[in-house]
Structure 1
Amino acid sequence: MTTGPAPGALTEEIARTVQGVPGVAFLRPGLAGRLRSTLPRAQEGRDRAPTAGVRLSRPGGTERWHVEIHLVALGQVRALDVARAARRSVEEYLLSVFPAEASAHVTVTVTGRV
């Protein structure tokens, strides 16, 4: 097994990779993201990538990565094209980080359009 970034850092990098795909409006926010406007910020100046739309797992610790992505696409592009591009970007990123490992299983779900 090849060593790489910690799972939390890897999740954040995957989130940044997906957000850079043309046609992606944003990752689906989790409960904390939905309540963000009503709660005071615990740490001012903390600009971290929202990772609620990315789930990362590795069953058994030695199998290939399983990545689930939930995103919202822009309305002027086809959701299918955005999903395919996001999947391809994540697969390429993981291959660059873990070149000796088998490909990852990446699932992209477009949960909405804006």
Structure 2
Amino acid sequence: MTKANSGGPSPSPAVIGEAVLGVRGVAFLRPALGARLRSAAAAAAATAAASPGRAASAPHHASGVKISAASGDRAAAVDVHVVLLRGYRALDVTRAVREAVRTSYPDAARTIPVHVVVTGIV
């Protein structure tokens, strides 16, 4: 069930990621493969360089958010991959995540499908 987007431009994945991280029960957003590889490469480079006080960069939380563009800069759908904290019901957290995404994108809050995928529980 896809609805047409009649709102303004979509927010960045970072804005959506920040909103999702504020939801109770969300441990973190699942990093994408590219972010994992960049993090591993940065850690290896930091170890090889042996620079004191230089830590490897953590994967950016926005990599767990994917915005599909329909036309121009308007979003057709938003996919969010989250890892939950143990003790929270997945249904309740996914509903809250969906609402947080829609709140961060008020221009088209009810016209863009938001898909939430729970990838793990910690």
TM-score (normalizing by structure 2): 0.69
- TM alignment of 1:1-114, pairs within 5 A: 4=9, 10-35=12-37, 38-40=40-42, 49-61=60-72, 65-95=76-106, 98=107, 103-114=111-122
Aligned residues of 2:39 and 2:59 also touching (Cα < 8 A): no
Aligned residues of 1:91 and 1:103 also touching (Cα < 8 A): no
- 1: distance between equivalents of 2:112 and 2:38? 32
Q: CA RMSD in A?
A: 3.1
| Paired-residue identity, % | 37
- Structure 2: which amino acid aligns with 1:54? V
Higher helix share: 2
- 2: distance between equivalents of 1:64 and 1:36? 26
5+ residue gaps, structure 1, are none
Q: Which entry has the higher C-alpha Rg, 1 or 2?
A: 2
- 2: distance between equivalents of 1:33 and 1:113? 20
TM-score (normalizing by structure 1): 0.73
Aligned residues of 1:27 and 1:71 also touching (Cα < 8 A): yes
Q: Deviations over 1:66-114 (max 9, x none)?
A: 100011000110111111100011112211xx26x86221111111100
Q: Deviations over 1:25-48 (max 9, x none)?
A: 000111244345532268x79788
- 1: distance between equivalents of 2:75 and 2:36? 32
